[in-house]
């Protein structure tokens, strides 16, 4: 979430008698202040003497008094903000008195600021009657940076006056100034900057207009707290602000295509107020996190996303892929908490009856599946809720239900079918990414828990894969799909088991075991994992593709 | 005895072959139409599509898919989702477009569909060819389904669905999963195109469409009648195997007891179906049917039963019946000589075609012919040149004599003093003409090597006489012409002397007159010049004019005197000239030959030097080619004479080039 606030700030120009100080390079004072910072943020005699060896106590006290006069420390030697500045920049204020031309601006964000200063020659024109009270009285003792060149720094130490009412000669100015304040909620950072035009002295009392140069500054605003204050105000017209989730709960109707996918929405606010920092009109609040306002909205939202995904990437989808895709589109999104439901297969077909391409893309993979889908898989899928566990699976089928909570060891035990493997091959196009590699570690650990000396081979696609990481996990160098399969790449995942004795066999899987996720740190083989659907069907060697068959026969390793 | 022109001669010979034997052959008679009664598993009637509700129906639309398509439409009409596999050209047929109207049909195309089949629920039927359908048991149906899935998801290239105005074909989308390979032991399996029947053929009933006959002996083998593998088939037949064939459109089949298999044809793959114990006997009934063809060995051609049969022999493109008489045209046979032509036969003749009952060999005897490019023999050229020279010399002699006759007349008319001499020349000329006429009636080539030299000698004598006659005429004319010129020159000289003597006195008188006149003018001039010296101005002018006139007159008088003196000198020289004869120049254009005008020189060579020592052939024409002489005769009646002449001239007796 992000907003850019802007406002125009009037600039006034005055000529005043003032005590000013210009920040000039004084490395010895910078050294002194840094020494103080290392000794309890206090300038003491010892600190002065450590920085200036050989200085007697009296001399050191003189230095301290001078620092106090400059404002680098307080009466007890404590380092002031100005002293910190000197320690950082090696620049210290050098006071002077005289008549100065000041360009002044005032706003809650930037305070009473001197934008630029010009030394003026004093004269005796006796225009006392022209002296007027200052409309903007600049902050004293605060270091300002000139917007003329962005380099010179100065401060107003005092505005001497006889009767306590600072005054000056009000001058004309054509200077313009605009505040541009960016609030980046996601980054928890605000930043403001001035821009505009201002007179620059050209000598002989002449001036020319120049663009302002101002380095961005931060106000340190608590942005999420600010959002909460807007919840009852500007945001209430759009939805319900959920402070804990830091998002706006909105109705499904009216959401644009992009908003459905990004869960972000841009709002046009007529007026917002930042307490103590001003009121801003016609504000555009970008990328506001949004989520469904109700379970019904969540369901419609989920189906809309699913529908758009199918349209964007047409193609045949097995029921397992449909379920996985629906889960992927809803899990870890604001929709998940509302547990949206993927309709049953037949219902999806009914919905697609007017769209033949969609209809066949869903119907054919189920009708023409080599392994009949379980009736549970064809039923509705409720996100976040464990799928029902089948009473009994057919022989040669291992099925992990959605959110079944199996550990990796449980899966491995079922896949090994009681044999002690000598070698295992995981054939999976996507062995990449930290999460998958973590799951691969669990798989390897579980396999070695069952058979300590088992060799684990991995065949995977080479795009974005880090073969060294895979080798570090398995101990064996993986082989690329292109090398093994050429152009006839398999679609599904396979786990091949070569026992110490007897015939090898394979598992033809609808999903990968390394797509399981541990919700806890330090997970082990026995840790229950978060699963998507996974159905593994046992196949014999002669049902496998030639390369896999060859691996079982001893080749291609 | 042969007559007429010499040319190529056609001859023939006939052989009887009724006892000839064929080593191997397919014998085909009228095919008996086998009867068929549908069984439980093997039928020829498609039957009605079983109602399957909404269960998906899988259809393979292979060759002869009309029944399968009808089943597809029935299932689709009943509300089922139908998945079909079709070949590349599918949907172009009008009947295929009926599928377009069906509610839910997804069709994929692949390079070749191995069969026509319908799978609905647990029921499945497979069209095996020849109009026969096998009903599959559940195990076979499941294997067929797996095979269908493999083809559908892994092999298909395009897809379209019903419900629109036309099938819109698009590339087949990526499969959503892998379909396992169908195991080798599956009851139905799509196998490579080179797959063959795998069962033990011994004692089996086999039907094989392609490849080799089995090594082992089945009880009955159906193998395509044709030109191939006769040797292997003969061994099987010898081992007691019934080798038969009838083209019933059946696939490869094998039944052995309670087992068997069907192997459907295909160029990209073949569908194998392992038969159950129930299906095998019904398929066996197919193979027990009567055949159209039977393979046999060592058959006698002349058997009565073979008259109407068709035989397919090894290596032949098609079957044929017996041939009553075969005409075998043997290549042309060259005869060694013209006399051998009537008796010439080919050294060998090709074998008759195996199915010929009689064979007639026919060939053409080609007589020996003069080679192409043969040229006229040099002997002929030499005789011809001799004859041509003979003729040319006689012509020139005649021309000389004719010219001499003209000269004689002209000289006689010009010089009367030569009249008597001309009479002698006339007699000589007449004699020479008579001899020329006699020689023109003869030829040296006709006289031959013996008579030609004498003729040539006579010709040389005539040429000499003609030359002498011409020389004499010329000399007589020259002398007469010189005498005439002398007389002419003398008369001219005398005329010139006489004229000079006659003119001299006049010229001398004229000279004296001119000299006196010149003196008078000179004197007058001197007087004027003297007067001029003392004359006044007016007189001086007149005297000066007179002086000039007199000077001009004196100059003219001097010229006249000089001219007259020159003329007198010339006349005096002419009168004193002496006579001198100047011979006339020789006539131009006359040949400088000593023999006189137009008279041929006598040949310096001996008259017999160029006479060939062989006479020309009496018959035929003599030609030569590469050093060999050929005597070419045109007709058979020249044969005897030609043989003698050819012998004399060491030539080969031949027919003309185009014979």
A228 and A369 co-located in one domain: no
- Mean pLDDT in residue range A415-431: 93
> Which residues in B lie closer than 8 A to residue A360 (C-beta atoms)?
106, 161
Q: How many domains does chain A have?
A: 4
Q: Count other Cβ atoms within 10 Å, centred on residue B99.
A: 24
Q: What is the three-class DSSP state of A429?
A: coil
Mutate one of B176, B183, B189 to test the A interface: name it (highest A CB count within 10 A): B176
Contact B459, B390 (CB under 8 A): yes
Give CA torsion, residues A219, A220, A224, A225, to 10 deg.
Answer: -90
Report the CATH number that the domain containing residue A508 is assigned in CATH: 3.30.870.30
What does the alpha-carbon distance between residue B163 and residue A177 come to, in Å, rounded to a whole number?
Answer: 68
Domain end residue (candidates: A70, A89, A108): A89
A426 and A543 co-located in one domain: yes
- Nearest residue on chain A to B58, judged by CA atoms? A368
Mutate one of A365, A369, A370, A378 to test the B interface: name it (highest B CB count within 10 A): A370
A404 and A524 co-located in one domain: yes
pLDDT of amino acid B51: 57
pLDDT of amino acid B609: 60
A424 and A330 co-located in one domain: no
> Which residues in B lie closer than 8 A to residue A490 (C-beta atoms)?
178
Contact B180, A370 (CB under 8 A): yes
Of residues B187 and B505, more confidence is placed in B187
A313 and A284 co-located in one domain: no
Percent of chain B with pLDDT over 70: 95
Crossing angle of the two packed helices A434-450 and A467-474, in degrees rounded to 10: 20
> Which residues in A lie closer than 8 A to residue B163 (C-beta atoms)?
356
pLDDT single digits (tens) A81-102? 999 999 999 999 999 999 999 9
Inter-chain touch A508–B180, beta carbons under 8 Å: yes
Interchain contact B59–A (C-beta under 8 A): no
A545 and A401 co-located in one domain: yes
DSSP string covering B117-139: EEEETTEEEEEEETTEEEEEPHH
pLDDT single digits (tens) B197-240? 998 899 999 999 988 999 999 999 999 999 999 999 999 999 99
pLDDT at B603 exceeding the cut of 70: no
pLDDT single digits (tens) A345-380? 999 999 999 999 999 999 999 999 999 888 888 999
- Report A:482-541 residues touching B (Cβ under 8 A): 490-492, 508, 510, 539-540
A341 and A407 co-located in one domain: no
What does the alpha-carbon distance between residue A510 and residue A533 come to, in Å, rounded to a whole number?
Answer: 8
Tokens of B351: 């074998």
User: Closest Cα partner for B389 from B459, B468, B304, B470?
Assistant: B459
**Out of A317, A318, A368, whose CB is closest to B149?**
A368
- Nearest residue on chain A to B179, judged by CA atoms? A370
* Exposure string over B4-22, b if 16+ CB within 10 A, otherwise e: eebbebebeeeeebeebeb
| Residue spans per domain, chain B | 9-20+301-366, 51-191, 378-575, 617-654
CATH class of segment(s) B51-191: alpha beta
Inter-chain touch B180–A543, beta carbons under 8 Å: yes
Q: What is the DSSP letter of B340?
A: G
A47 and A34 co-located in one domain: yes
Inter-chain touch B174–A321, beta carbons under 8 Å: no
DSSP string covering A158-172: E---SSS--EEEEE-
B589: left (phi over 0), alpha (psi -120 to 50) or beta: left
What does the alpha-carbon distance between residue B639 and residue B364 come to, in Å, rounded to a whole number?
Answer: 21
Average pLDDT, chain A: 92
pLDDT of amino acid A390: 72
pLDDT at B613 exceeding the cut of 90: no
pLDDT at A556 exceeding the cut of 80: no
Q: What is the DSSP letter of A379?
A: S
Q: Which range among B85-94, B294-303, B356-365 shows the weakest confidence by mean pLDDT?
A: B85-94
What does the alpha-carbon distance between residue A84 and residue A30 come to, in Å, rounded to a whole number?
Answer: 9
pLDDT at A508 exceeding the cut of 90: yes
Residues 6+ apart with CB under 8 A from A528: A405, A406, A407
- Report B:71-90 residues touching A (Cβ under 8 A): 81, 83
> Which residues in B lie closer than 8 A to residue A313 (C-beta atoms)?
none
Inter-chain touch B177–A360, beta carbons under 8 Å: no
What does the alpha-carbon distance between residue A247 and residue A262 come to, in Å, rounded to a whole number?
Answer: 13
What does the alpha-carbon distance between residue A458 and residue A425 come to, in Å, rounded to a whole number?
Answer: 6
Inter-chain touch B178–A363, beta carbons under 8 Å: no
The three-state (H, E, C) secondary structure of A242-266, written as one string: ECCCCEEEECCCCCCHHHHHHCEEE
- Mean pLDDT in residue range B172-195: 94
Asked whether residue A404 is assigned to any structural domain, the reply reads yes
> Which residues in B lie closer than 8 A to residue A508 (C-beta atoms)?
178, 180
Inter-chain touch A363–B81, beta carbons under 8 Å: yes
Domain end residue (candidates: A293, A324, A345): A293
pLDDT of amino acid A130: 84
Distance from CA of B175 to the nearest CA of A (A): 6
Distance from CA of A317 to the nearest CA of B (A): 5
pLDDT single digits (tens) B448-458? 888 898 899 89
Contact B452, B444 (CB under 8 A): yes
pLDDT at B589 exceeding the cut of 60: no
What does the alpha-carbon distance between residue B511 and residue B148 come to, in Å, rounded to a whole number?
Answer: 161
pLDDT single digits (tens) A227-280? 999 988 889 989 999 999 999 999 999 899 999 999 999 999 999 999 999 999
- Nearest residue on chain A to B151, judged by CA atoms? A368
pLDDT of amino acid A395: 85
Give Cα separations from A376 to A372, A423, B82, B292 (angstroms). Answer: 11, 33, 24, 60
Query: Taken in order B245, B248, B249, B252, is the CA torsion positive or negative?
Result: negative
Inter-chain touch A316–B174, beta carbons under 8 Å: yes
What does the alpha-carbon distance between residue B384 and residue B622 come to, in Å, rounded to a whole number?
Answer: 13
Beta bridge partners of B256: B259
Contact A16, A172 (CB under 8 A): no
pLDDT of amino acid B119: 95
Q: What is the three-class DSSP state of A359?
A: helix
Asked whether residue A411 is assigned to any structural domain, the reply reads yes
Tokens of B396: 């020139």
Give CA torsion, residues A24, A25, A28, A29, to 10 deg.
Answer: 40
Tokens of B49: 């599509």
pLDDT of amino acid A469: 95
Crossing angle of the two packed helices B378-414 and B444-534, in degrees rounded to 10: 40
Inter-chain touch A490–B182, beta carbons under 8 Å: no
Q: Count other Cβ atoms within 10 Å, centred on residue A482.
A: 12
- Mean pLDDT in residue range A473-496: 94
Interchain contact B105–A (C-beta under 8 A): no
Q: What is the DSSP letter of B198?
A: -
Terminal-residue alpha carbon distance, chain A: 52
Q: What is the DSSP letter of B32?
A: P
Inter-chain touch B183–A364, beta carbons under 8 Å: no
What is the interface size between A and B, counted as CB pairs within 8 Å? Answer: 69
What does the alpha-carbon distance between residue B496 and residue B573 come to, in Å, rounded to a whole number?
Answer: 11
pLDDT of amino acid B53: 64
Query: Taken in order A402, A404, A405, A411, is the CA torsion positive or negative?
Result: negative
Asked whether residue A104 is assigned to any structural domain, the reply reads no
Domain end residue (candidates: A327, A354, A382): A382
Distance from CA of B313 to the nearest CA of A (A): 45
Burial class of residue A539, CB neighbours in 10 A (0-12, 13-18, 19+): buried
A408 and A538 co-located in one domain: yes
* Exposure string over A431-459, b if 16+ CB within 10 A, otherwise e: bbeeebbbbbbbbbbbbbbbbeebbbbbb
pLDDT tier at B50 (50, 70, 90 boundaries)?
A: low
Give Cα separations from B387 to A544, B454, B610 (angstroms). Answer: 107, 14, 11
Residues 6+ apart with CB under 8 A from B278: B40, B41, B137
Residues 6+ apart with CB under 8 A from A487: none
ipTM: 0.77
pLDDT single digits (tens) B407-444? 888 888 877 777 777 888 888 888 889 999 999 999 99
Backbone φ and ψ for B244, nearest 5 degrees, come out as -135, 170
Domain residue limits at A541 = 397-552
What does the alpha-carbon distance between residue B233 and residue B217 come to, in Å, rounded to a whole number?
Answer: 10
């Amino acid at each position: 979430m992000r907003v850019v606030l802007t406002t125009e700030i009037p600039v006034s120009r005055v000529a005043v008698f003032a005590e000013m100080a210009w920040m000039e390079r004084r490395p010895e004072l910078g050294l002194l202040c840094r020494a103080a910072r290392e000794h309890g943020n206090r300038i003491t005699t010892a600190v002065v003497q450590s920085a200036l060896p050989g200085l007697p106590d009296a001399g050191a006290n003189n230095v301290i008094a001078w620092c106090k006069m400059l404002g680098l420390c307080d009466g007890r030697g404590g380092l002031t903000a100005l002293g910190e500045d000197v320690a950082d920049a090696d620049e210290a204020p050098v006071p002077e008195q005289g008549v100065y031309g000041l360009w002044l601006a005032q706003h809650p964000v930037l305070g009473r600021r001197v934008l630029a200063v010009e030394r003026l020659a004093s004269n005796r024109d006796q225009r006392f009657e022209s002296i007027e009270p200052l409309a903007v009285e600049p902050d004293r003792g605060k270091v300002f940076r000139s917007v003329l060149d962005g380099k010179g720094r100065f401060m107003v130490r005092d505005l001497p006056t006889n009767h306590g009412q600072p005054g000056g000669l009000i001058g004309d100015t054509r200077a313009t100034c605009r505040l541009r304040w960016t609030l980046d909620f996601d980054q928890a950072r605000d930043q403001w900057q001035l821009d505009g035009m201002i007179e620059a002295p050209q000598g002989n009392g002449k001036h020319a207009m120049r663009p302002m140069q101002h380095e961005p500054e931060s106000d340190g605003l608590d942005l999420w707290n600010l959002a909460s204050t807007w919840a009852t105000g500007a945001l209430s017209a759009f939805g319900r602000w959920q402070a804990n989730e830091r998002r706006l709960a909105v109705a499904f109707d009216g959401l644009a295509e992009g908003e459905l996918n990004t869960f972000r929405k841009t709002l046009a606010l007529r007026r917002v107020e930042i307490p103590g920092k001003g009121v801003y009109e016609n504000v555009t609040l970008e990328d506001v996190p949004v989520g469904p306002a109700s379970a019904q909205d969540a369901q419609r939202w989920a189906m809309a996303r699913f529908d758009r995904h199918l349209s964007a990437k047409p193609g045949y989808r097995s029921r397992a892929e449909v379920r996985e895709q629906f889960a992927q589109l809803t899990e870890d999104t604001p929709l998940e908490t509302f547990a949206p439901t993927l309709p049953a297969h037949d219902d999806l077909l009914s919905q697609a009856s007017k769209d033949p391409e969609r209809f066949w893309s869903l119907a054919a993979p189920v009708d023409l599946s080599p392994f009949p889908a379980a009736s549970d898989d064809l039923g509705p899928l409720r996100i976040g809720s464990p799928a029902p566990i089948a009473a009994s699976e057919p022989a040669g089928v291992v099925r992990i239900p959605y959110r079944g909570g199996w550990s990796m060891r449980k899966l491995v035990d079922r896949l090994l079918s009681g044999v002690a493997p000598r070698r295992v091959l995981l054939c999976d196009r996507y062995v990449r990414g930290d999460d998958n590699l973590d799951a691969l570690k669990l798989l390897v650990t579980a396999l070695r828990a069952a058979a300590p000396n088992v060799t684990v081979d991995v065949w995977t696609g080479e795009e974005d894969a880090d073969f060294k990481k895979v080798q570090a996990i398995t101990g064996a160098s993986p082989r690329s799909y292109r090398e093994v399969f050429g152009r006839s790449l398999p679609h599904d995942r396979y786990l091949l088991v070569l026992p110490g004795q007897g015939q090898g066999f394979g598992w033809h899987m609808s999903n990968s075991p390394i797509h399981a996720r541990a919700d806890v740190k330090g997970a082990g083989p026995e840790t229950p994992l978060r699963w998507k659907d996974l159905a593994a069907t046992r196949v014999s060697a002669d049902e496998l593709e030639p390369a896999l068959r060859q691996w079982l026969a001893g080749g291609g390793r | 005895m042969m007559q007429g022109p010499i040319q190529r001669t056609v001859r023939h010979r006939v052989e009887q072959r009724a006892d000839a034997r064929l080593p191997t052959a397919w014998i085909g008679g009228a095919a008996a139409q086998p009867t068929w009664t549908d069984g439980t598993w093997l039928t020829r009637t498609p039957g009605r599509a079983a109602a399957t509700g909404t269960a998906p129906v899988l259809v393979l639309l292979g060759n002869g898919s009309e029944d399968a398509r009808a089943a597809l439409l029935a299932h689709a009409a009943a509300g089922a989702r139908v998945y079909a596999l079709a070949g590349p050209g599918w949907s172009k047929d009008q009947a295929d477009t009926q599928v377009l109207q069906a509610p839910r049909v997804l069709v994929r195309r692949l390079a070749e569909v191995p069969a026509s089949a319908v799978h609905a629920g647990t029921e499945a039927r497979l069209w095996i060819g020849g109009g026969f359908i096998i009903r599959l048991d559940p195990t076979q149906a499941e294997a067929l389904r797996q095979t269908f899935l493999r083809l559908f998801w892994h092999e298909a290239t395009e897809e379209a669905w019903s419900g629109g105005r036309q099938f819109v074909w698009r590339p087949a989308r990526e499969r959503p999963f892998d379909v396992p390979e169908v195991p080798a032991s599956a009851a139905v399996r799509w196998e490579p195109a080179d797959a063959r029947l795998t069962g033990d053929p011994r004692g089996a009933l086999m039907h094989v469409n392609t490849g080799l006959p089995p090594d082992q002996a089945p009880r009955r083998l159906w193998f395509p009648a044709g030109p191939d593998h006769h040797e292997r088939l003969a061994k099987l037949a010898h081992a007691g195997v019934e080798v038969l064939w009838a083209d019933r459109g059946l696939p490869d089949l094998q039944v052995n007891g309670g087992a068997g298999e069907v192997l459907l044809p295909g160029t990209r793959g073949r569908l194998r179906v392992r038969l159950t114990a129930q299906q095998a006997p019904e398929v066996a009934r197919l193979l027990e049917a009567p055949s159209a063809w039977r393979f046999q060995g060592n058959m006698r051609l002349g058997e009565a039963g073979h008259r109407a049969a068709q035989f397919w022999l090894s290596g032949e493109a098609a079957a044929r019946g017996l041939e009553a008489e075969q005409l075998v045209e043997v290549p042309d046979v060259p005869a060694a000589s013209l006399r051998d032509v009537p008796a010439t036969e080919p050294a060998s003749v090709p074998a008759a075609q195996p199915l010929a009952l009689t064979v007639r060999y026919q060939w053409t005897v080609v007589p020996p012919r003069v080679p192409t490019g043969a040229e006229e023999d040099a002997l002929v050229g030499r005789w011809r040149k001799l004859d041509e020279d003979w003729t040319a010399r006689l012509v020139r002699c005649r021309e000389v004599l004719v010219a001499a006759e003209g000269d004689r007349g002209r000289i006689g008319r010009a010089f009367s003093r030569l009249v008597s001499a001309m009479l002698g020349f006339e007699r000589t000329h007449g004699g020479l003409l008579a001899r020329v006429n006699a020689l023109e009636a003869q030829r040296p080539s006709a006289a031959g090597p013996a008579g030609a030299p004498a003729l040539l000698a006579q010709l040389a004598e005539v040429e000499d006489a003609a030359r002498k006659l011409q020389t004499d005429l010329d000399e007589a004319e020259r002398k007469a012409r010189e005498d005439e010129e002398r007389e002419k020159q003398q008369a001219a000289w005398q005329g010139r002397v006489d004229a000079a003597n006659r003119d001299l006195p006049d010229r001398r008188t004229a000279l004296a007159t001119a000299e006196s006149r010149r003196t008078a003018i000179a004197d007058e001039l001197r007087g004027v010049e003297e007067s001029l010296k003392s004359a006044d101005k007016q007189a001086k002018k007149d005297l000066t004019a007179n002086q000039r006139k007199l000077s001009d007159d004196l100059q003219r008088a001097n010229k006249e005197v000089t001219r007259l003196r020159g003329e007198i000198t010339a006349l005096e020289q002419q009168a004193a000239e002496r006579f001198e004869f100047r011979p006339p120049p020789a006539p131009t254009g006359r040949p400088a030959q000593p023999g006189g005008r137009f008279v041929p020189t006598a040949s310096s060579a001996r008259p017999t030097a160029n006479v060939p020592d062989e006479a020309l052939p009496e018959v035929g024409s003599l030609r030569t080619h590469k050093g060999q002489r050929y005597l070419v005769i045109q007709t058979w009646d020249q044969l005897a004479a030609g043989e003698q002449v050819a012998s004399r001239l060491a030539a080969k007796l031949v027919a003309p080039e185009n014979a």
